[in-house]
Amino acid sequence: MQTLILAVNKPALAYAKAGVAFYEERLRPLGKVEIRYVKEGSANDVADAMLRASEGYVRIAMDERGMNWSTRELEAQWRSWQMDAVKRVAFLIGPADGHTEELRAACEMTLSLGRHTMQHELALLVLLEQVYRIHTLLAGAPYHRD
Amino acid sequence: MQTLILAVNKPALAYAKAGVAFYEERLRPLGKVEIRYVKEGSANDVADAMLRASEGYVRIAMDERGMNWSTRELEAQWRSWQMDAVKRVAFLIGPADGHTEELRAACEMTLSLGRHTMQHELALLVLLEQVYRIHTLLAGAPYHRD
């Protein structure tokens, strides 16, 4: 399953840049996870760019008001996408002020990384680590603990 | 209010080390947030070391099974500690297998950074960013967005 992560602007904070590179490196052998950045702009411009970039994907809006799943629940969702032969899933991390209503409406679901507000570069890092963790679970590797 | 964050071992991942240094730097002028590391060991040894290090503090166990508060709710809790003249609060980030029952029982509450399992160095980073965010809220600074 092709996985796309969309975020606004490349990380500017050095630690976030290093963290994203770290998980990208680990995910690279799997060849299926791609991060793309859209340019900062008005909420509508960002939404339009994200919707264009995720055309043909099952879209997941990342938002602290969404469902906060455990890693095992996200893994179960992942397996169910695979069983349903879903080919492309995109995770959309909103700009600082959150996603527009139009973008939310175009998404299949809204997932949360917790109810707390996070710097969006840090949110990207947390999401990437989840995606990496799910892949180790799917591969039966011992990285995860419950 | 003196804030202590306890974690197991100094971060080893380069990005986490950089991220912790980044938020420590930002929190330093406030002079009230300290991170201390206890040595890796058996669950009981870690719990004992954390309980000794946090003697005299209101203890918060960090665990994905705890309450996941919004940043505004955590800020409200912080203000209520200040009103109650609480002088010391310690946040305890457990080892990979989680906290012991004994440690949980010695804590005032269990807080969660979301139901998903996180690499514990990343959890430290997310907690630090929350603490930084709360301090900007308490100072009336514009970092936060709801």
pLDDT for the residue A14: 97
For residue A146, what pLDDT band results from cuts at 50, 70 and 90?
low
Residues in B closer than 8 angstroms to A112, CB to CB, are 114
**Which residues have C-beta within 8 Å of that of residue B21, sequence separation ≥ 6?**
A15
Beta carbons of A115 and B15 less than 8 Å apart: no
- Is residue B146, in this structure, part of any structural domain at all? no
Residues in B closer than 8 angstroms to A126, CB to CB, are 114, 116, 118, 122, 126
Residue B96 in this model has a pLDDT that exceeds 90: no
**What's the whole-number mean pLDDT along residues A28-54?**
94
- Is residue B97, in this structure, part of any structural domain at all? yes
Residue A59 in this model has a pLDDT that exceeds 90: yes
- Is residue B18, in this structure, part of any structural domain at all? yes
Q: How many domains does chain B have?
A: 1
- Is residue A134, in this structure, part of any structural domain at all? yes
Please give the residue of chain B at the shortest CA–CA distance from A96: B145
Range of A35's domain?
Answer: 2-138
- Is residue A144, in this structure, part of any structural domain at all? no
CA A116, A122, A123, A128 dihedral sign is negative
Q: How many CB pairs under 8 A join A and B?
A: 98
pLDDT for the residue A144: 67
Look up the pTM and report it: 0.93
CB distance A74 to B118 below 8 Å: no
CATH of residue B46: 3.40.1280.10
The CB-side HSE value for B91 (13 A sphere, CA atoms) comes to 24
Alpha-carbon distance of B29 to A6, in angstroms, equals 35
Q: What is the mean pLDDT of chain B?
A: 93
- Is residue A145, in this structure, part of any structural domain at all? no
- Is residue B143, in this structure, part of any structural domain at all? no
Residue B83 in this model has a pLDDT that exceeds 70: yes
Beta carbons of B119 and A113 less than 8 Å apart: no
Beta carbons of B68 and A68 less than 8 Å apart: yes
- Which ipTM did the prediction report? 0.92
Residues in B closer than 8 angstroms to A18, CB to CB, are 14-15, 18
Determine which of A64-68, A75-79, B15-19, B85-89 has the lowest per-residue pLDDT on average: A64-68
Whether A134 contacts chain B with CB within 8 A:
no
- Percentage of chain A exceeding pLDDT 70: 97
- Is residue B107, in this structure, part of any structural domain at all? yes
**What's the whole-number mean pLDDT along residues A37-48?**
95
Q: And the tokens for A42? A: 């008005």
Whether A144 contacts chain B with CB within 8 A:
yes
